[in-house]
Amino acid sequence: MAIELSTPDAGRLGDVVRALRDWQSDAAPIQLHPGDLGWYWQFGADAMAAGVRTWRRDGQLLAIGFLDSPDVVRMTVAPSAWREEGLAHQVVADMSEPRRGVLPAGKASIEAPDGTRVQELLSEVGWSAGEPWTPLRRDLTGPVDQPGLRVEVVGPGQESEFTAVHRSAWGRPRFTDELWRAMTAGLPYTDARCLLARDGQGVPVAGVTVWSAGPGKPGLLEPMGVHADHRGRGCGRMICVAAAAELKKLGSSSALVCTPSSRDAAVATYESAGFRRLPERLDRTRGA
């Protein structure tokens, strides 16, 4: 049977999210996670669907790609097709040819899991090594310490302080209360929580969103940030510990995070919170 590339409509996103949940495994390298789609859902289901590409054979999902930006696609492969040669050639051809409607001509990047035939083939056909990323994992089978800060789950009507922390942490004014409400109405947020940490005076100092993929599956931190006025006080470490504890409550087997390797301070923060650094991974790039 032929492998079909398509862009799903919003009504089929449930199939995509369910597949991504099913494909998560502690035995596999870090890969595209339901939380990656969940964070983007702030722009609405139609925008989310427009950024998704699927590869199917006879209706069965074999690979999923997500356009994190117009020239960056993050993708993963079904465990049963991890090393499938025919699928890899089809996916790489579709992402390399602009007329297929995945990536534009010129500069582009692809993030694919290490160990997949897709990742190997990209290198073989001339996609060069790109930005290095550091994945980190914290095992959740054992106990998780108390974070040392007052941490609360953000609910409807409480979003303003959370979004303010995020805007300060990342220097990006676009994350509004309205976008938070859209994100939390999305399908992946069924298994997610936003956490807000306060200092001893009750001032919001840090925030994180955690995404479960279901019991026994690895969960994801995406994103975490400390208010600019409260950096250097251990707030990042404590909110990461709180994130791990919340994912454990949700039944996650481990907590995952991935950050650019150039962000030394971020890597150090996660390690201080009990996350173990995994082998560095590289995007594949084309063009200047």
Residue 154 CA to its chain's centroid (Å): 20
146-175 b/e (C-beta count within 10 Å ≥ 16 → b): ebebebeebeeeebebbbbbbbbbeeeeeb
Residue 252 CA to its chain's centroid (Å): 15
Residue 141 CA to its chain's centroid (Å): 22
Average pLDDT over residues 86-103: 98
Rounded alpha-carbon distances, angstroms, from residue 30 to 78, 112, 255, 287? 13, 9, 11, 26
| pLDDT single digits (tens) 139-159 | 999 999 988 899 999 999 999
CA distance 39 to 35: 6
> Per-residue confidence at 172, pLDDT binned at 50, 70, 90?
confident
The average confidence (pLDDT) of the chain is 97
What 3-state DSSP class applies to 177?
Answer: helix
Rounded alpha-carbon distances, angstroms, from residue 209 to 108, 123, 138, 192, 265? 28, 33, 16, 7, 19
CA distance 221 to 208: 7
AA letter at 122 = L
> Per-residue confidence at 67, pLDDT binned at 50, 70, 90?
very high
Q: Are the C-beta atoms of residues 63 and 55 closer than 8 Å to each other?
A: yes
Q: Are the C-beta atoms of residues 76 and 66 closer than 8 Å to each other?
A: no
Query: Would you state the pLDDT for residue 1?
Result: 80
Query: Would you state the pLDDT for residue 241?
Result: 98
Rounded alpha-carbon distances, angstroms, from residue 251 to 17, 26, 257? 18, 13, 17
% the chain with pLDDT above 70? 100
| pLDDT of residue 288 exceeding 70 | no
AA letter at 1 = M
| pLDDT of residue 263 exceeding 90 | yes
DSSP β-ladder status, 281-286 and 128-139: antiparallel
| pLDDT of residue 69 exceeding 90 | yes
pTM score, whole prediction: 0.96
Query: Would you state the pLDDT for residue 227?
Result: 98
> Per-residue confidence at 73, pLDDT binned at 50, 70, 90?
very high
| pLDDT single digits (tens) 211-242 | 999 999 999 999 999 999 999 999 999 999 99
End-to-end CA distance of the chain: 37
DSSP string, 65-110: EEEEETTEEEEEE-GGGTT-HHHHHHHHHHHH-GGGSSS-SSSEEE
CA distance 263 to 265: 6
| pLDDT of residue 50 exceeding 80 | yes
**Domains identified in the chain and CATH numbers:** 3-132 (3.40.630.30), 138-282 (3.40.630.30)
Query: Would you state the pLDDT for residue 100?
Result: 97
